[in-house]
Chain A
Amino acid sequence: MVDNSKSVLIIGAGIAGIQAALDLGDMGIKVHLIEKNPVIGGKMAQLDKTFPTLDCSICILAPKLSECYRHPNINLYTLSEVQKIDGSSGDFTVEVLKRARYVKEDACTNCGDCASICPVRGVPNYFDANLKNMAAAYIPFPSAVPPVHIIDKNSCVYLNYGICGLCATNCGAEAIDFTQKDEILEFENVGCIIVAPGYGLMEDVSPLTSYGYGKFKNVVTALEFERLICASGPLEGHLKRLSDGKDPKKIAFLQCIGSRSDRDKKYCSSICCMYTTKAAMISYEHNNDLESYVFYIDMRAGGKGFQNFLRRGAEEYNIKYIKSKISHIDVDEEGSPIITYEDYDTAEIKQMTVDLAVLATCIIPSQGIEKLAEVLGIELNKYKFIKTNPFLPVETSVEGIFTCGCAREPMDIPRSVAEASGAAARAAEVIKGG
């Protein structure tokens, strides 16, 4: 039944792209999975736990990463980006730029000797929200897939000045290869394409100055906070203030940062109410004396079990919800954030001093989406997310090109997974139905 000459090309290997790839692979359809980062897993791999079950995120994701890597019908290409497409639904030709890794994927044993010997230090690790430094030879996190190190082109001394090469001489597997070049791969007989590049974050494009982000050490973003409380993160899960290493006793979580606003993004970022409650719960589990304050406009908790989750937060985890609007953040002489806000319940302007402030920053379209849309010829909406019709939710403006996940709108993991399976079904209709 399945036409094996036709494949599906998926752009982006976050949870959405991975689910679509696994579903199609399991249907017996060949998949090319294209990821621009050196490893797969996207944002979900960076999260500590997930709401509302409080499952450890990497623990439930890791089996899927492995499955993707070992699946006989899935070909994985990391450090790769789509550059050009030709053809139409049922028969696309796709050109992909695969950047050099400088490490042979089939030889590396992921032992980490290259990273230990590399004299270059202080390369910020994007995976740890740049809160931890690494060497120029690295792997973003220990259980990453593919389990292959990479050499950072910008900071490697050998690649820039032709000296050093210590990693190459010390690699027992002889996996380091400085002669690797970026290459162009061409995929023919691609029946359809699924675009799942995920999302970016407000802090990537905005300085968030009114919240003192970047200026005050004890004001962090939600993703930074995920890494700070994560057992495999830079603090090994022992939550501390970045300014003085003290344990925070009182944390403020500020909602709608850069979203639902005339100044920034007008739309709602969808997932923040829930992940904030989760973050406050985990923090409480680390320290039972902790007080958490959530400053919100509307608590948006419509998903399964979400209202119960909020109730548990308030009743069992010492979380207090304050309907309010934030004005700005200052700090006192100890570096503790002072939040100035309007309390909606009393219509008063108030201040609260906390040990740590966490900004629930808005989800924005992924970096490079405009270029990708141009390459693929698909339309974006006015917010620069991929344009879809409410009643054809996984279809882009081009026939045979589908989309899923946060590339088209901010959404949580279950919805991304569902959309991915939906996009896989639509792709299978094209491949099998002709």
Chain B
Amino acid sequence: MNMSEKEEEVRIGVFVCSCGSNIGGLIDVKEVAEYAKSLPNVVFTEDNLYTCSETGLAQIKKGVTEHNLNRVVVASCTPRTHEPLFRDCIKDVGLNEYLFQFVNIRDQCTWVHMKHPKEAFEKAKEVIRMGVAKAAKLEALENIVVDATPTAIVIGGGVAGMTAALSLANQGFETHLVEKANELGGKLNIINKLFPTSQDASELLASLKRRVENNPNLTVYTSAKVKEIEGFVGNYEIKVEQGGNSTDLSIGVIVVAVGASLLTPTGKFGYDGNIRITQYELENKLKNNEINAKNIVMIQCVGARNDERKYCSNVCCMTALKNSLLIKEKNPDANITILFRDLYTPGTYYEEYYRRAREAGVIFLSYKLEKEPVVEENNIKVFNEYIGEEMSIPYDLLVLSTPLIANDDNKELAQMLKVPLEENNFFLEAHVKLRPMDFATDGVFICGAAKWPVDITESITQGYAAAGRASTIISHDTIEVEGATSFLPEYNKDLCTGCEVCITVCPYKAISKNEDDEIEIIQVLCKGCGVCGATCTNHAIVIRHFTDEQILSEIYAFGGI
């Protein structure tokens, strides 16, 4: 920052949003805007129906130009969804994007204090006062621009991974596909036929493998494992180990497609792997033409949708229907009963498939979680609500529909990638609604059953989707990352005692010691989370955009000091 900038008069504009009636319905935004006018350095205020609308953005730009604003405060919703929009807006009129301050008067005022409008109104004024105080101290920052390597790695060579790798390779990117088993295909290797077409899974697998093997942009590593991941978006250094050899790869983007595992229901419903088996064991028997049972019972939601594992595994109902139809085709006289809780066949073709199974004579009986079926030697006892009685159904083959579960080694990979898992140890995406294929970590993407149980169709869709998202990054020569990072300023170097606490706590491995034994923070790795600054025993580390001075100014403004 040079002297002339430092001496520049601070001119703040405050824009207060009604958010329709989300804010304006509870508190008087005009009065809030009027109050903001009385704050130090504020030269212009305005209220808008929706500050984020194109009209609202035009108002901000007009305000900046007409009133010579050099700081902008928007009091509205959350930076999580809207900060990039407002930053871009002030950038359009020539202001540095970091001269923008967000104040959340919706989530933090009118939403949480919905029943106390007076207090919400007072709090809105206070948080705006704090935001304005911080805005006055904001400094211009530059984003960091780095080169991007136009290559991709796909971890996991099942149907999702192969699809993603093929799409990236077809877009012209050098792509590496890493599979831990000794051959590609994942679950396609154990599935017999595919719903809803009854096509052989092996046919789809063969076609995918052929395309993968013939693609000049694709390199496949089987019996291989990703050992080390260093670096950041556009610039990953990845070590792949294969049979004792290791290969170092320079990679731009990473796609996680490690799939899911099967649950063996040991100790449940008399499971014995012989006449009481899982759907996947049944698939194998059907492949080998080994089924000649006359009375077959299937139980859905075994080990799912209960207290131990709350989720629905998505694919089991369709798998049960498929296998029932296959058995019925061969032996129309077989009696098949499916004991279910809620039959999951959403959409057009799956519901049609359900009807086909009913028409083929498959019997469907519902049971409740509180009254699970009881498996006896040759019979299954199940209470049917509809007839209000316990029924006894004879069986010579019992098939248990168990859920897909998260892989045991997800944790290890998640740590290497610095991405989160959810409560069932599936990978957790950036936003379940609008960023289904992204991780919060830039440059890492997710698809297939590693994220959540999905069938083959959806795995293919997601494989393409992850490829599409990944391509948005490596289609460019450079990448811009956030400039609000932490650093050790020259004038603070003496304060650093070399204790290395910051190195230990940094979740992004952005801090290390250089050859002179001095702390070095790799700017492009730093996410500006502030953990290093907060733990630094001597206050040597400074977080840009969240400096002590900036944060203290907010606290002073709040306390009225």
Question: Using a CB–CB distance below 8 Å, which chain A residues touch chain B?
Answer: 1-2, 15, 23, 26-28, 50, 52-53, 55-56, 59-64, 66-67, 69-70, 109-110, 142-147, 231-232, 236-237, 260, 266-268, 270, 298-308, 311, 323, 344-347, 381, 383, 385, 390-394, 409-411, 413-415, 417-426, 428-429, 432-433
Tell me which of A1, A302, A347 contacts B475 (CB under 8 A).
A1
Asked whether, in the complex, the Cβ of B310 is within 8 Å of the Cβ of A307, the reply is yes
Does any Cβ of A come within 8 Å of B219's Cβ? no
Docked CA distance A98–B280 (Å): 54
CA distance A23 to B437 in the complex (A): 12
Contacts of A53 in B (CB 8 A): 431-433
CA distance A381 to B199 in the complex (A): 19
For B387, what are the chain A residues with a Cβ–Cβ distance below 8 Å?
347
Q: Which of B172-195 contact A (CB under 8 A)?
A: 172, 194
Establish whether residues A307 and B305, one from each chain, have CB atoms under 8 Å apart when the complex forms: yes
Within 8 Å by CB of A415, from B49, B458, B471, lies B458
- Within the complex, the shortest CB–CB distance from A138 to chain B, in Å, comes to 14
Instruction: Determine whether the beta carbon of A69 is less than 8 Å from that of B54.
Output: yes
B428, closest chain A residue (CB): A304
Interface size on B, residues (CB 8 A): 82
In the assembled complex, how far is the CB of residue A89 from the closest CB belonging to chain B, in whole angstroms?
Answer: 14
CB of A59 within 8 A of CB of B433, answer no
Contact of A308 among B53, B310, B314 (CB under 8 A): B310
CA distance A108 to B548 in the complex (A): 45
Are A66 and B204 also in contact (CB < 8 A) when A267-B351, A432-B172 are? no
B343 at the interface (CB under 8 A from A): yes
Q: Of B53, B311, B388, B466, which is within 8 A of A307 by CB? A: B311
Selected A-B contacts with CB under 8 Å, 13 pairs: A66-B57, A143-B49, A143-B54, A270-B346, A300-B344, A409-B348, A409-B349, A410-B347, A419-B465, A422-B467, A423-B464, A425-B467, A425-B468
Q: A69-B54, A307-B312 are in contact. Are A268 and B465 (CB under 8 A)?
A: no
Q: Closest Cβ of chain B: how far from A72's Cβ, in Å?
A: 12
| B434 contacts A394, C-beta separation under 8 Å | no
Q: Which residues of B have CB within 8 Å of A418?
A: 436-437, 461-462, 465
- Shortest A337–chain B CB gap in Å is 25
- In the complex formed, the residue of B with least CB distance to A144 is B53
B25 to A236, Cβ gap below 8 A? yes
Instruction: Answer whether residue B451 sits at the interface, using C-beta atoms and an 8 A cutoff.
Output: yes
Cβ-defined contact, B436 with A147, below 8 A: no
| B85 contacts partner chain A, Cβ-Cβ < 8 Å | yes
Complex Cα distance, B463 from A162, in Å, reads: 57
**Segment at the interface with A among B76-84, B135-143, B231-239, B288-296:** B76-84
Q: Sort A-B residue pairs by CB-CB distance and give the 4 closest, nearest first.
A: A422-B464, A425-B468, A232-B20, A143-B53
- CB neighbours of B451 from chain A (8 A): 304
13 further A-B contacts with Cβ under 8 Å, apart from A307-B310, A433-B172, are A28-B476, A63-B81, A144-B53, A267-B351, A270-B347, A298-B344, A301-B342, A306-B312, A307-B311, A391-B197, A409-B347, A422-B461, A422-B463
How near does chain A come to B419, taking the closest CB pair, in angstroms?
15
Q: Is B468 within 8 A of A424, CB to CB?
A: yes
Residue on A nearest B343 in the bound complex, by CB = A298
Contact B347 A411 (CB under 8 A): yes
Q: Which residues of A have CB within 8 Å of B386?
A: 344-345, 347
Interface hub of A110, A411, A419, A429 (most chain B Cβ within 10 A): A429
In the complex, per-residue mask of B301-322: 1 if CB is within 8 Å of any chain A CB, else 0: 0000100001111100000000
Instruction: Let me know if B388 and A347 touch, CB within 8 A.
Output: yes
Asked whether B43 is an interface residue with its Cβ less than 8 Å from the other chain, the reply is no
Q: How far is the CB of B148 from chain A (nearest CB, A)?
A: 12
**In the complex, B254 has a CB within 8 A of chain A:** no
A142 to B49, CA, bound (A): 8
Interface residues of B in 1-48 (CB under 8 A from A): 19-22, 25
Interface centre among A2, A63, A425 (most CB of B within 10 A): A425
- Set B345, B457, B465, B475: member contacting A28, Cβ < 8 A: B475
* CA–CA, A318 and B385, complex, Å: 23
Contacts of A69 in B (CB 8 A): 54
Docked pose: A145 CA to B55 CA in angstroms: 9
Is the pair A56, B22 in contact by a Cβ cutoff of 8 Å? yes
Evaluate contact between A142 and B348: CB separation under 8 angstroms: no
**Closest B-chain residue to A143, C-beta based?**
B53
In the complex, what residues of B have CB within 8 A of residue A231's CB?
Answer: 19-22, 25
Asked whether B472 lies within 8 Å of A27 as measured between CB atoms, the reply is yes
Within 8 A of A (CB), among B453-483: 453, 456-458, 460-469, 471-472, 475-476
Residues of B within 8 A of A424 (CB): 468
A302 to B81, CA, bound (A): 27
In Å, the complex CA distance between A110 and B77 comes to: 22
In the bound complex, what is the Cα–Cα distance between A15 and B434 (angstroms)?
A: 9
- A308→B469 CA distance, assembly (Å): 28
Q: Mark B71-103, 1 if CB is under 8 A from A, else 0.
A: 000000100011011001000000000000000
CB distance from B552 to the nearest CB of A (A): 31
A346 lies within 8 A of B388 (CB):
yes
Is B558's CB within 8 Å of the partner chain A?
no
Nearest CB in chain B: distance from A383 CB, A? 5
CA A422 to CA B387, docked complex, whole Å: 47
Residue of B77, B196, B355 near A266 (CB, 8 A) is B355
Among B20, B88, B352, B453: residue with most chain A CB under 10 A: B20
Q: Report how far A415 CA is from B197 CA in the complex, Å.
A: 21
A53→B431 CA distance, assembly (Å)? 9
Contact residues, B394-435 vs A (CB, 8 A): 422, 426, 431-435
Q: Within the complex, what minimum Cβ distance (angstroms) separates A10 from chain B?
A: 13
Give the residues in chain B near A2, CB-CB below 8 Å: 475
Chain A nearest CB: distance from B85 CB in Å? 5
